[in-house]
Structures are given as C-alpha cells and as structure tokens.
C-alpha cells in the first residue's frame, strides 16, 4: 500500500492569502455578505445543510461537496470597511478642520450640484459631534504617530495593524458615522461621497479644486498598506481580507493588478426587495433626493470624472456575482418553478449564503466542482462582449434552447459591412485627404453641414492640441453622443451599433438557425424594451442578466400578457475567475490517490510492474552468478 500524502502545502498560497472586494448598489447587501465572511463557517449554524434538499438534482450534489469542504476550510476573514479608511484620512487633519469642512461653501456647492431639496446645513450634526472631540484628538495623535515614511522599519506596519484593527477605533469610526446620519442618511452618504471623490481627485480630503490622475489610487494605496500590515502581523498565518465596499472601477483595477488572489464580488438584489430596504433606510429623506444620490453613485459623473463613484462599471468588472436571496425567498422561487405549467430545467435558486459558500470554497480549492449551466453560458456572453466595437459600453449575449445548447452569440457592434467606431479616426473625417480612411464614415457624417460644424467644434482643436496626451491613441468619436449634443437630447435611435441581444437574434435568422421556443437568453447587461419585445416574440422563457439597464422592460413587456418571461439575476463566476476557480491544480483522481495512498492501477499495469520486478531480480541474480564464476576461476 502506497503512503498517503498531505497536500496542504499545494493549496497553502490560496488558503494563506486572499483579498475579496465587494461592490454593489446601496442596499444590495454588501455589508451583510461581509459580515458572513467575518464569521466564516461558524459551525454551520448559518448555512443550509445539504440533506435538507432533494439530492436528485446535481446542483444540490455539488452543494453537498461544497458544504463538506467549507466545514473544514472556511475560516473567518478580516474586514476592512471603506468608510473606516476614510476616517483615517480625517484623523490626519484636526477636528476643527473637519467641522470647517462641514460648514464650507465647497460642500454646500456639491449639494447644489446634485439639486437636492435637502438643505446642506450641518449645524445640528456639528453640535452632536462635539462629544467626540476629545476621542477624535486622541485617535488623531495615535494615528499621526505612525511613521509612514519608515513603513518597512521593524514594527511600523505592526503599529498600523494594531491601530486599524483595534475594536475601539472601529467603534469610534462607527459613532462618527452614526452621528452624521442621525438626521439624514442622504447627508451622511453625500459627505462620504464628496470626501472619497476629493481624495481620488486631489489627494486631499478637503480639496475639490485640483484634479490630477496621480491621486486616483490615494485611498486604495492606504488599504493596500493595511493589508500589508495584516501580513506582517501574521507572517505564517492566514491573511484573508474582505473590503466593504469598492465603488470606483479604477480602485478595482488597482487590486486586480496587485494581487493574483484578488476577486471582486458584486452583490445584486431583486429591485423590488432592494426598494423596500431603501425605503426603510432613507425614512428622513426626500424620495427625489434619494433617487438622485443613488443615480450619482450608480452612473458616475461625466466622462472626465473618472474619480467619482461608478457602481455600474464596478458590477460589470466583477469576477463573481451573488444574488442576495434569503433562504425563504429561494424556497419560494423554487416552489414556483415546481408548480409552473411549462417544463423548467433551470438550476434551482440558491440562498446567498449557499452562493457565498461556493465562492470561498472554489477560491481555496479550484476545480472542486464544475460550473453550472448558467455560468457556462454567461461566460460565453461575457467573452463575446470583448468583440464589441462600441467605445461606450461592451455587452455580450448568448441564446440557448431549453437545454442550454447554444444557438447564437452576439455583441453590440455595427451592422456587417460598416466600420465599428473603435476603428475610426476622427482626424480622417476632419481632414478628408487622399491618404485618409474616409470610407469608414457615412455619407451623412461626410456631408451634413450642421453635423460637420459640431464635429469641428468638439474635435478639431482638441485633437490637434492634445497629441501629447493621446500618446499614439486613436481619437475615435461616438456618433450618438455628438448628434444628441445639438439636436435630440438623449435619443437612443442614433446609436450605430446593434444591441448584443438583437445581434444574437439576427444570427438565428441570417444563418437559418432552429427555433428557440422555450429557450434562454443570457446578457451581460439586461435587455432594453426593444430587445425584450424581440425575446418575447421569439418565445424565450428565461432571461439571465447581470446588471439592470435603465428602462421599463420588466413591467411594460416581460411581465405582461399570457407568455410572461422569467427574469433571473445571474449568480456565479465569470471572466478570468471562471478559469482561475474551475481549473483544478491537478486531476482530482490523482489528488485523491495521493491523499488516500491508494493509486489504483489497471491489471495490465500490475502485470507490467511484476514483470519489471522479476526482471530486476533476474538481473541481480545474473550479476551474482557472474561474480561467483569469476572468483572460482
């Protein structure tokens, strides 16, 4: 019998270091998920046991494997709250400077820009904050005593760890936050938004006048230093960090470039349920104000305002998606599936805790289970979106029959025979010389006087004067944006690209594909009204989506009539993480053979081994005979 082997060292790098960044819209549940990661498996009291389900479905068999693995390996994560990091920046300055900021004209101006009905008056909050003056000054003195200029000198990083992860600091930071939101959650959230924007814009917590891309990583660089302090504190132990939460796509990019073991998890929630949660939180705030704030968080600022929050793009960049379904919600949805009249072979709904268990287990042990059919198909749509020639947004779509057999793939792009925007240089259209690629542009773009006037106003001098900034990049332009800037506001009909879903539908027609009655649509966004009508007409029964696209397609189209569609928030793993987490380090059969010490050989191999052993014995005997004969002679 072979000796068994402990393979812990092979997975040590994964179990010893992992960073998870959470992202999602307000009230999607980031803090809820972060809290469970901090608890870890927690003796299984938080998670549904596998045998409480009918194991006849392979999805539940996979969950059993995940559950058994997590029971041993799901250890608690350490939490870095984003707003606690913002508190550190406040502590670098005096308490009086913080109060001055709350009274400042700059802060009032930010509220005016948002067109809130809420008055930007913080005198009540300032009065309440006075109880924290002494504590603020004490923490400020302690924090400023840390010598960040000598971070890698022995003990300095440890001092940072001891400060940040001290429960008394967390308590202080929460009290500060609570006072700011006592009168209005909107006001507190707007203050934090302005502070984080200032830091990413100018590197100064109170300065919104100066803009430089050099400061975009100001906050995450400090978070990175805190992570390093954790590793310094536990050099031989686990550093598993969860960041709650990231809302700027540049900050997600920062961590993706720093750590191979970094994963962004987007927490999504059914819109009706999220709306109910929001109503309970913003009880003291005007509804229109609340919606404006949420729009700012979700959509971000203008094109040049890269330093602002942009949750929509963060969700699009996520590696893992969790749909925040409570246990009873999942059970109710599964019961509806069972009671449905039409055949339904979609995967069951899983609670968010079950989804989370799967993610952390695969992070620790890649290839533990195989992807779900939904993940497999959404991965195709996600990969397809990179073919898009649109310079605004990349979207991918996949269409399958009812059994997940792929029938068409699409992405948003210009009709075949027309040149995608990303391949067109506006200088060719401006100059129209013989050596320019003028055929890439339409007759309208080449000849319409009004259009050309606005084209020159927006691009001629701007491109000519900023060659150094372009550094060889192609200067493209968006026809829809330029057309809408002078004629029709936000008219979406002027987009040059087909939508991804539309393109996939047309593939079926163009190449004579089979019907997709009862089929499924996977989209990396969610379908607009026009594409929803096409899906309805073609007989699609289920639409899986990642992020809601502005519109009324659900209530106006998909939930109407006799052939209502099921619309499901996607949960699972896509993108690079699909390969990282589903590609096993070694074949599982080999792994089990080493762990159990019982590599099973076929009969032929056994005979070959015996023959080789006998040959070795014969060879040894032959050598002894030759030696005896030599001695006798």
Q: Tell me, letter by letter, the H, E, C secondary structure of 201-270.
A: HHCCCCCCCCCCHHHCCHHHHHHHHHHHHHHHHCCCCCEEEEEECCCCHHHHHHHHHHCCCEEEEEEECC
Note the pLDDT tens digit of each residue in 553-598. Answer: 777 777 777 788 888 999 999 999 999 999 998 888 888 888 888 7
383 & 435 share domain: no
pTM: 0.91
Same domain, 442 and 475: yes
Q: Per the domain annotation, does 383 fall within a domain?
A: yes
Note whether 129 and 273 are same-domain residues: yes
Helix (H) or strand (E) holding 584: none
Residues 426 and 391 in one domain: no
Confidence of residue 486 (pLDDT cuts 50, 70, 90): confident
pLDDT above 80: residue 463? yes
Same domain, 502 and 448: no
What is the per-residue pLDDT across 116-148, written as a single tens digit (0 to 9) for each? 988 889 999 999 999 999 999 999 999 999 999
Asked whether residue 191 falls in the same domain as residue 134, the answer is: yes
CA pair distance 31, 277, nearest whole angstrom? 13
Instruction: Identify the CATH number of the domain in which residue 567 sits.
Output: 3.40.140.10
Residue 105 has a pLDDT of 93
Whether residue 147 is contained in a domain is answered as yes
220 closest CA partner among 259, 252, 188, 263: 252
In a domain, 614, yes or no: no
Query: What is the model's pLDDT at position 549?
Result: 66
Beta strands at 17-23 and 262-268: parallel, antiparallel or unpaired: parallel
Residue 178 lies in a domain: yes
End-of-domain residue from the set 494, 513, 529 = 494
Distance, CA of 357 to chain centre: 17
Q: What does the alpha-carbon distance between residue 531 and residue 502 come to, in Å, rounded to a whole number?
A: 6
> Are 131 and 205 found together in one domain?
yes
Residues 191 and 298 in one domain: yes
Tell me, yes or no, whether 444 and 567 share the same domain.
no
Answer yes or no: is 624 within a domain.
no
Residue 344 has pLDDT above 80, yes or no: no
Closest CA to 241 of 30, 40, 18: 18
The residues that bridge with 322 in the sheet, in sequence order, are 267
Mean pLDDT score of the chain = 91
| Domains identified in the chain, total number | 3
Q: What percent of the chain has pLDDT over 70?
A: 97
User: What residue numbers bound the domain in which 235 lies?
Assistant: 78-320
Q: How far apart are CA 545 and CA 155, in angstroms?
A: 48
In-domain check, residue 371:
no
- Do you know the residue count of the chain? 633
Residues 282 and 392 both lie in one domain: no
In terms of domains, do 527 and 469 share one? Answer: no
| DSSP tag of 69 | H
Half-sphere exposure of 201 (CA within 13 A, CB side): 19
> How confident is the model at residue 448, as a pLDDT?
93
Q: Does a structural domain hold residue 460?
A: yes
Rounded CA gap, 247 and 223, in Å? 14
Give the residue among 162, 297, 226 at the shortest CA–CA distance from 19. 226
Edge-first strand order for the sheet with 520-523 is: 406-411, 396-400, 520-523, 542-545, 566-569
Domain boundary (447, 474, 494) is at 494
- Residue 208's pLDDT band (cuts 50, 70, 90): confident
Of 571, 587, 619, the residue at which a domain comes to its end is 571
Same domain, 430 and 395: no
Domain assignment of residue 602, yes or no: no
């Amino acid at each position: 019998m072979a000796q068994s082997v402990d393979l812990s060292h092979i997975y040590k790098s994964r179990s010893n270091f992992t960073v998870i960044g959470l992202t999602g819209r307000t009230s999607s549940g980031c803090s809820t998920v972060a809290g469970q990661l901090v608890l870890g498996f927690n003796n299984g009291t938080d998670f549904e046991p596998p045998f409480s389900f009918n194991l006849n479905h392979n999805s539940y068999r996979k969950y059993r494997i995940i559950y058994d693995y997590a029971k041993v390996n799901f250890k608690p994560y350490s939490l870095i709250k984003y707003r606690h990091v913002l508190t550190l920046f406040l502590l670098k300055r005096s308490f009086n400077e913080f109060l001055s900021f709350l009274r400042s004209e700059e802060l009032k101006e930010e509220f005016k820009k948002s067109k809130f009905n809420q008055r930007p008056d913080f005198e009540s909050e300032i009065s309440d904050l006075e109880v924290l003056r002494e504590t603020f000054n004490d923490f400020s003195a302690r924090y400023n005593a840390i010598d960040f200029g000598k971070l890698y000198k022995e003990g300095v990083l440890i001092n940072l760890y001891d400060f940040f992860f001290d429960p008394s600091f967390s308590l202080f930071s929460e009290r500060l936050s609570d006072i700011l939101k006592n009168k209005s959650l909107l006001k507190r959230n707007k203050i934090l938004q302005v502070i984080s924007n200032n830091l990413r814009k100018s590197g100064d917590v109170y300065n919104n006048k100066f803009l430089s891309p050099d400061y975009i990583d100001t906050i995450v660089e400090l978070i990175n230093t805190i992570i390093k302090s954790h590793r310094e504190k536990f050099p031989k132990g686990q550093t598993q960090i969860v960041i709650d939460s990231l809302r700027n796509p540049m900050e997600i990019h920062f961590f993706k470039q720093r750590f191979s073991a970094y994963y962004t998890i987007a927490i999504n929630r059914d819109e009706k349920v999220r709306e109910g949660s929001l109503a309970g939180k913003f009880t003291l705030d005007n509804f229109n104000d609340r919606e404006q704030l949420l729009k700012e968080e979700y959509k971000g600022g203008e094109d040049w305002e890269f330093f602002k929050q942009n949750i929509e793009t963060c969700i699009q960049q996520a590696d893992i998606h969790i749909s925040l379904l409570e246990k009873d919600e999942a059970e109710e949805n599964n019961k509806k599936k069972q009671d449905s009249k039409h055949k339904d072979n979609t995967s069951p709904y899983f609670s968010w805790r079950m989804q989370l268990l799967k993610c952390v287990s695969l992070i620790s042990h890649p290839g533990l289970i195989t992807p779900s059919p939904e993940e497999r198909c959404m991965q195709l749509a996600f990969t397809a979106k990179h073919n898009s020639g649109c310079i605004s947004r990349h979207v991918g779509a996949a269409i399958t029959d009812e059994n997940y057999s792929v029938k068409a793939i699409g992405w948003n792009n210009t009709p075949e025979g027309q040149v995608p925007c990303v391949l067109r240089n506006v200088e060719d259209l401006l100059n129209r010389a013989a050596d320019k690629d003028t055929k890439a542009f339409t007759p309208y773009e080449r000849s319409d006087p009004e259009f050309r006037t606005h084209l020159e106003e927006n691009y001629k001098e701007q491109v000519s004067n900023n060659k150094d900034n372009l550094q060889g990049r192609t200067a493209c332009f968006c026809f829809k944006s330029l057309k809408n800037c002078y004629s029709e506001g936000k008219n979406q009909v002027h987009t040059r690209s087909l939508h991804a879903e539309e393109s996939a539908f047309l593939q079926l027609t163009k190449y004579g594909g089979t019907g997709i009655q009862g089929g499924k649509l996977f989209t990396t966004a969610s379908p607009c009204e026009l594409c929803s009508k096409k899906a309805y007409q073609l007989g699609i029964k289920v639409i899986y989506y990642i992020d809601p696209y502005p519109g009324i397609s659900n209530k106006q189209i998909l939930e109407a009539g006799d052939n209502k569609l099921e619309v499901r928030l996607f949960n699972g793993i896509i993108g690079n993480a699909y390969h990282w987490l589903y590609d096993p380090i070694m074949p599982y059969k080999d792994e089990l053979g080493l762990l159990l010490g019982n590599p099973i050989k076929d009969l032929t191999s056994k005979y070959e081994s015996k023959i080789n052993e006998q040959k070795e014995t014969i060879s040894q005997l032959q050598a002894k005979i030759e030696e005896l004969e030599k001695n006798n002679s």
